[in-house]
Structure 1
Amino acid sequence: MDITQEKIDDLNAVLKVKLQPEDYEQKVEQVLKDYRKQVNLPGFRAGKVPFGIVKKRFGLAVLQEEVSKIVGESVQSYLVDNKLQVVGQPLPKVQDETPIDWNNQKEFEFLYELGLAPNIDLQILEKKGSVTEYSINVDQKIIDEELESLKSYYATNEDAEKVCEKDIIEAAIVEIDNDGNDIDDGINKTINFSLVAFEDESSKASLLGLGKEQSVDCDFNKAFKNNYDKIGSVLHISADEAKELKNNFRLTVKGIKTRILPELNQELFERIYGKDAVKDETEFLDKFKSDLEEKYKSYTTRKLENELMDQVIEKFDLKLPDEFLRRWLKVINEDQSKRDKIDEEYDSWSSSMKWQLIQRKIVEENNLQATEEELRDHVKITLQQRLQTTGQSFEEEQLKMYCDEYLKDNKHKEEVENQVVGDKIVNFFKPKFNITVKEVSMEDFLKL
C-alpha cells in the first residue's frame, strides 16, 4: 500500500491511497472462508458449500467491503502516524475518471480531501488584553428570595377550609355551553392548580374563599389571558387544543391544600446540612450566604470564560478550510432540515471550532488534562451540593460508588471533563489579561 499527501495550500490537502492485490487478497479470502462455514444454500449442507460457489455469490460484495475497511483504517493510521492535525474527517474525493471495475481491476486508487488545522502560535498571548470579571452582589433581597424558595421545598401540605391565593386546589371541571348545560362530549376531568397562575384578577377573585363542593363558572381564556400554553398545562391538553376551546367550565372544588412553610430552627438546619453542621440561625445564614456566593460565582465564571473565548478567538484570527468544512457538515448531517441551516449557522459553528483548537493546543502544551481524581472530585462536590438541598447525605463509600457509576457513561464523563478543563483554561488565561473586577446586582448581571 502506498499513501502520499499532496498539499493544496496551508489548509487543504489530498491523500492518495494506492492498493495492490497483496494489500487485500488474503483478508478477502479469509472472510469468504468464514462465510463458507456459516452460509446456507439450497442443495448443500450447512458449512459444506464449495468455496468457488461462495466466492462467486459473495466475492464482489466482500471485496468492496474489505477494501473500504482497509482504506479507511489506513487513512486514519496515516493521520496518527504523521501527526497530521485535521479538522472534520477525510472526505472521499469524487474522481472524474472511469469508475472502478470491481470485477476485473486488481489495483485500486482512492483520493481523500483533508481539512488541515491552522498553526497556533501561543506567543500571541504575550500581549495582554483587558476583560471585566463580574461579581454578583448576594444582597439581602437575593438571600430572602432563595431562602423562601428553599423553605418552599421543605413545606408541608395541610387541608384548608377556604381557598387562598397560594393554595393547591383540586377541582372537578366540566365543559358547559352558553346556557350552563354540560356538554356531553366535552372535557370532564379533575385538575390541580393554584390561583397564582391566574393572570386575570376578577377570575382569581371568583374562586377566593370558596369551600369544598362549592362551584363557579370559569372562562379559562379570560383567566389566563389567552395564554394557551398555560391553559393546556392546567387542563392537560396541548396548546393547539387549548386554542380551539371556546366554552366555559363549571369548576367544583374537591380539595384544598395550603402549604405550611417550615420555621428556621435546628430541625430544618439539620435536614439541609446534616447533623451538627450548624449550631444556630446565625451560623445557618452565614453558611447559606456562602453557598449562594459559590453558586453565583459559577455563573460569573461561565460569563468570564465566554468573554475570554471571544477575545482569544479575535487575537488568534485563525483561518479554517471553510469550503471543505461546509461540505463535510453536509455529508455528516443526514437530516435535510439541518443541512439547510449549515450556511446560516456556519459562523457560529466555526467560532466554536476555533475555540476548541485553541483549547486543545493550550491543554496539550501546558498539561491541563483532567485527571480521573479531578473528575471524581467534581462529581462528588456537585452531588453533595444537591444533597444539601434535599436534606440527604451519602457515606464516603456511597459517594465513591456513585461517582464511579456516573463516570462510566461516556456522555456524562465528557460533560464533566469539559467543565473541569474549562475551569483550568480560565485560570490559565487570567494572568494573560488585565482583569477589572466589577460588582453588579443579579438583575444587572442578567442584562449583560
Structure 2
Amino acid sequence: MTRHLVAGAALALLGCLGSAPVSAEIGKPVIRIGILNDRSGPYADLGGPGSVVAAQLAIEDAGGKVNGAAIELVSADHQNKPDIGSGIARRWLDQDGVDVIADVPVSSVALAVQEIGRQAKRITLMQATTSDLSGKACSPYSTAWQDDTYSFSKATAQAVVATGSKRWFFISADYAFGHALERDAGKFIKEAGGTVTGAVRHPINAGDMSSYLVQAQSSKADVVAFANGGADLINSIKQADEFGVTAGGQKLVGFLLYLTDVHALGLPVTKGLLLSEGFYWNQNEAARTWSKRFFEKTKRMPTKQHASVYASVAHYLKAVKAADTLDADAVAAQMRTMPVDYFGHSGTVRQDGRVVYPMTLYEVKSPAESKEPWDYLKPVREITAAEAFRPISEGGCGLVK
C-alpha cells in the first residue's frame, strides 16, 4: 500500500495539530480517504494513479482540510480480485482509521467492498459500473458515481437499433460487470425492436480474442457488441479490425469505451464507434478547465472514471463540512440532500445511492475530423438523466420506500 499525503497545506496542518482547531463533532485531526483500484492490471490506465491525482485535486479545492481536520490519502491495488480488495478494505476500516473508500472499479470487487462498508457503517464512493450497486446490493452508506451498465447500455443500444442494425451478438467479460451489461443491453435492444442472436464469454485478461470473434462473424449479426473493458476491450477492437469484422459489414459497439482506449487504438481503428458518456473532457468549459488541471499533473486527459473520483470525493468533503461530523449516517444523508456539481451538469444523489446526471451519445471521430490531441469524440445526442438512468422503482433496492 502506498500512502500519499496531500502536499502543502495538509502537511503543515499535520505538523501543528496541537494548535490546530479540530471540530468537536468531527473529533479527528485527520480525515483519511482510501483510493482502492487496479494499479497494475488491465484497468490501471482508466483509474490507477490518475484516480489518486483526481482525489488530490478535490482535496486541493476543499482547501486541504475540513473544519480544522487535515485530509490524508492512502491508496492500494486490489488486483481485480475480490478477496484482495476485501482484505484491504477490512484492514483500512478496522485498523488504519480510513473514513471513506473511493473508486473501486471492477464490479465483483466493488460489490464485496460495498458490503464491507455497509457492515462497518463507513462511506464508500463507488466507480464500478454494475447497476447492482444501486439495485439489489444497495447500501445506505454507498453512492454509485460512474455511468452504469443500465445507463450507457440503454442509450447506445437504442440509438444503434434505430439505425436499422437490429441483430446483435455479444462478446462479454465473464464476471459480474460483463454479465450485468449483457443483461441490461439485451433488454434495451429487445425493447427497441432488435434481437440478441448469441453471446460468448471470456475470462479477464483473455489476450487472444480470435475464437470469440470467429463466432461473432459466423453469427451474421448486424452488430458485434463488446461487454468488456480495459485491455480486454482494446484487444477485442484491435483484433476485430485485423479480422476484418467491420470490412465484412458488421458494426462494432464498445459500451465501456474510455478515452484512453481510443487514444491507445487510434482513430483509424476506432472511428465510427458509438458510446454514451456522462463525462468528456471537451464537453463544456467547466470540464475543459478541470481537465487541463489534471493534464498538467499527468500529461493526459482524464477518463470518466478519473472525473467521477474527483466529483465523488469533492461531494463527500462538502457533505462532511456541512454535517460537521464523520458519522456515516449523517454524512450519507447530507450527500443525498446536496446537489451534485458534475462538471457543468447538475446532478443529484437518489435514495438508492445512484448519482444521476445528463449523458451524451458520442461517435468516435475519423482522423480527418480530429483537430487537436485528445479530440476524439463528437456529440450525437444529449440524453437527460431521466432518460439515461434506471427508474428508482425498478432497481430492487431495499432502501426505497
If the length of structure 2 is used for normalisation, what is the TM-score? 0.21
Give the structure-1-normalised TM-score. 0.20
